[in-house]
């Protein structure tokens, strides 16, 4: 039987770091994570970065490129990790993952003239949130 999706069982370090990111109300930076998990035996940057790389790869988290910070995926894990969009408040730094099917479809089907075939995109929208307006 072929399974549609492999269920990713997270390793110990991956689970520790995912849990931390998942319960954080704001994007977390790698070294903030490192300092937070030292009590759990994760002592060095490579341990954090390896877990982060893997979690990004399987779509459990996303990297906010403009902030070098990580958020957990708020959509149905991993499937749309190749099509990410975020709203970012320039005042309070709040980040929210946008799940807008029309937007996602529009960008996924975007065809660029010069022969590019797109496999993935990342969109970051900046402005002021409700509170900060």
Partner DNA sequence: TACATACTGTTATATTATAACAATTCTAAC
Partner DNA sequence: GTTAGAATTGTTATAATATAACAGTATGTA
Quick one: which H or E segment has residue 31? Answer: helix 30-37
**104 scored as a contact of DNA (CB under 7 A):** no
Residue 59's closest CA among 14, 20, 110? 14
**13 scored as a contact of DNA (CB under 7 A):** yes
Alpha carbons 72 and 44: distance in angstroms, whole number: 22
Nearer to Zn ion, 8 or 34 (CB): 8
Q: Residue 107 CB, nearest distance to DNA (Å)?
A: 24
- 19 is in the binding site of which of Zn ion, a second copy, DNA, none (Cβ under 5 to 8 A by kind)? none
Do 122 and 65 form a contact (C-beta atoms < 8 A)? yes
Q: Residue 7 CB, nearest distance to a second copy (Å)?
A: 26
The contact set with a second copy (CB under 8 A) reads 65-66, 87, 89-90, 96, 98, 100, 103, 106-107, 110, 112, 114-130, 133
Return residues touching DNA (CB under 7 A): 1-4, 9, 11-14, 29-32, 41-47, 49-51, 53-54, 68
């Amino acid at each position: 039987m072929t399974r549609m999706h492999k269920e990713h069982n997270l390793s110990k370090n991956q689970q520790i770091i995912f849990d931390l990111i998942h319960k954080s109300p704001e994007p977390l930076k790698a070294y903030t994570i490192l300092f937070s998990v030292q009590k759990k035996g994760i002592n060095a940057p490579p341990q954090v970065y390896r877990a982060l790389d893997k979690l990004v790869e399987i779509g459990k988290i996303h990297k906010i490129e403009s902030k070098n910070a990580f958020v957990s995926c708020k959509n149905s894990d991993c499937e749309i990790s190749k099509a990410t969009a975020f709203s970012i408040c320039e005042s309070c730094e709040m980040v929210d993952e946008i799940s807008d099917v029309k937007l996602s479809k529009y960008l996924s089907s975007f065809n660029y003239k010069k022969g590019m075939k797109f496999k993935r995109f990342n969109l970051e929208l900046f402005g002021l949130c409700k509170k900060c307006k």
